[in-house]
Chain A
Amino acid sequence: MSVLVYVESPKGHIKKTGNEVITYGSRLARQLGTDCIALIIGKADDPASCGLYGATKVMHLNPGAEPDFDSQAFTALIAEAAARTGAQNIILSNTANGKALTGRLAIRLNAGDVTGANSLPETGSGFTVTKSVFSGKAIARYSIDTPVKVISVMGNTLQPDASGSPAAVETVEIAMMTTKLKVLEKKTSEGIVPLPEAELVVSAGRGMKGPENWGIVEDLAAALGATTACSRPVADSGWRPHHEHVGQTGVAIRPNLYIAIGISGAIQHLAGVNNSKVIVAINKDPEAPFFKAADYGIVGDLFEVVPRLTEAIKKFKHT
């Protein structure tokens, strides 16, 4: 009944979210008294490193060329790996690809599944796992009754724990199944941590008055090493790109730190950010609803406060 963790390795590199799910899978394996097998499909620079995060073994499926993502083909491979290893618990990251795989795998393996789990399962009697629902307004506890379980894990649920040692890697040469889907092109911004993975986020709203003022937000983000985000009207007016829009209809995030600048704190905005560990709100209106959801609040003019904060961060980083 071992635990199989599918680890994404874009361009051969395992990201923090990947190491988080291995940590999650190995803790679950320890709870169940079984082993944790990491599965990598495609290019992998350092598959043995999965052992650092608790994998006892790494299965590396190598199709030669870097495979394009196709949920159908990947599902077939992960299901095959589960059959070979006798795994009954399949763990994935709750990424765009991870979510596209979770439901498919549940069908393929006759399993119950939970997407976006935010805690380790309780396995004392039965099998229950929690996730945040109703836009962060509640937590649901799910019981999975089937023998096989598939779970995708929300980013930032556990910190990666690298206290293990490199694991043995079994490389298997494979052929990808041909399907009716072909990836023509992939466009991702280089160098910047994508919003769903960012630990520090600086976000701004309509209080900025216009796109020409974003320099102070970018300066703060650069000083912190943070990713930038925005409220929906800002993206809708074309002040910022759509992929920066956070909230109920945008990206849902849970960084360690979320700094909200000139954002009122409407319920639909909070829905996407209220799982952040720490929230700082900067607003000139002391009655702004964001202060009810924030941990730290500053009442003041953002055009004065934000540059001051940037200077203070720079000073802190230099000492």
Chain B
Amino acid sequence: MLSLLPQSGTECQLAAGAINKSGTGLLTFLFKDLQMNILVCISKTPDTTSKISFRSDDTEYNADGVTFIMNPYDEWYALVRAIELTEQNGGNVTVINVGPTANDIIIRKALAIGANDAVRIDLDPADAYVTAANIADHARSHNYDLIMLGKETIDFNGSETGAMIAELLQLPFVSYASDLKVSGSTSTVTRDIEGGVEVCQVEGPFVLSAAKGLAEQRIPNMKGIMMAKTKPLAVVPPTVQNTRVRTSKFVLPAAKSGVKMVAPDNMDELVRLLHEEAKVI
């Protein structure tokens, strides 16, 4: 597979050529060619049932007593598909998280599910830019064939980190992927778009964000949990610290004024209310 190091299309081709001329036997070359080196970006979000509250004059999310989980799109789809690909063809899955020590719990879970090793960039990121910039810097010095993310985090629903990493590395980006097939250096991806799907073909390394359908959730087993304890987790300092966007305030939405009940045998009344009072039909 191609390496991520090259920054532009032409250099990419040069790199591919270099592999071809490397003089290794054809068999080893073919074998190596199928192996994938995959980076999966994982994030931590409050459990879906968590109570949402704020502190410091509503400028900060109050994490007290909140259970955190690995973002479902990262865990269920991106990570599992990455593991499946390396199970089929060999290779390596590295998970990466930009976050504080407390995130080691979700990183160990990813290792228990089947990732080979992990990197934590030791910074509590305040915006998507600083997250993407640090991940891109890491990727520049490693030969990843594929960088996978979740389609969005379920707390802030940014859906922007993958696009940023792709632009920083000048790579193609396929968002909302619900199917991924890899054959040599060519990947075929189905992505969800409004009212349907689009099927794309990508040559060489790229960035993908995972949607439902890409894989089936895996529950870590006892063996996986034991093995995870000894798998390597490298903690590295951030390369970028500056942010571009600040969360200046949180507001709780206005409460519903209460439900108005309509008798089940009087649907004319419901239609009247929807027309005259709610003005939606």
Chain A: minimal CB distance from B198 (Å): 5
B173 engages A100 (CB within 8 Å): yes
Given B9, B157, B199, B260, which contacts A116 in the complex, CB threshold below 8 Å?
B157
Q: SS class of chain A's interface: helix, strand, loop or mixed?
A: mixed
Chain A: minimal CB distance from B61 (Å): 8
Interface digits, A26-51 against B, CB 8 Å rule (1 contact, 0 not)?
00000000000000000000000000
14 sampled A-B residue pairs with Cβ under 8 A = A99-B175, A106-B164, A107-B167, A112-B244, A113-B160, A115-B160, A138-B250, A142-B246, A183-B200, A188-B193, A193-B195, A296-B273, A301-B264, A315-B271
Number of interface residues of B (CB under 8 A): 80
Q: Which 10 A-B pairs have the closest CB atoms?
A: A300-B264, A194-B195, A103-B163, A188-B196, A103-B160, A112-B244, A312-B267, A107-B167, A104-B167, A194-B194
A298 engages B270 (CB within 8 Å): yes
Judge whether B43 is part of the interface by a CB distance below 8 angstroms.
Answer: no
- Residues of A157-205 at the interface with B, using a CB-CB cut-off of 8 Å, are 178-189, 192-197, 200
Number of inter-chain CB pairs below 8 Å:
273
Number of interface residues of A (CB under 8 A): 98
- Residues of A43-79 at the interface with B, using a CB-CB cut-off of 8 Å, are 69-72, 75
A111: chain B residues at CB < 8 Å are 244
Judge whether B222 is part of the interface by a CB distance below 8 angstroms.
Answer: no
A32 vs B246: C-alpha distance in the bound complex, in angstroms? 21
A293 vs B172: C-alpha distance in the bound complex, in angstroms? 41
Given A299-B261, A312-B271: 14 more A-B contacts, CB < 8 Å: A71-B166, A115-B158, A181-B206, A185-B199, A188-B197, A194-B195, A245-B212, A248-B48, A280-B274, A294-B259, A295-B260, A295-B278, A298-B261, A298-B270
Judge whether A81 is part of the interface by a CB distance below 8 angstroms.
Answer: no
Chain B: minimal CB distance from A253 (Å): 11
B253: chain A residues at CB < 8 Å are 132, 136-139
Judge whether A285 is part of the interface by a CB distance below 8 angstroms.
Answer: no
Q: A103-B163, A293-B256 are in contact. Are A135 and B248 (CB under 8 A)?
A: no
Q: A140-B247, A144-B245 are in contact. Are A108 and B167 (CB under 8 A)?
A: yes
- Enumerate chain B interface residues (CB-CB to A < 8 A): 9, 12, 46, 48-49, 52, 54, 72, 127-129, 132, 154-164, 166-168, 170-176, 178, 188, 191-204, 206, 212-213, 244-253, 256, 259-265, 267-268, 270-271, 273-275, 278, 280-281
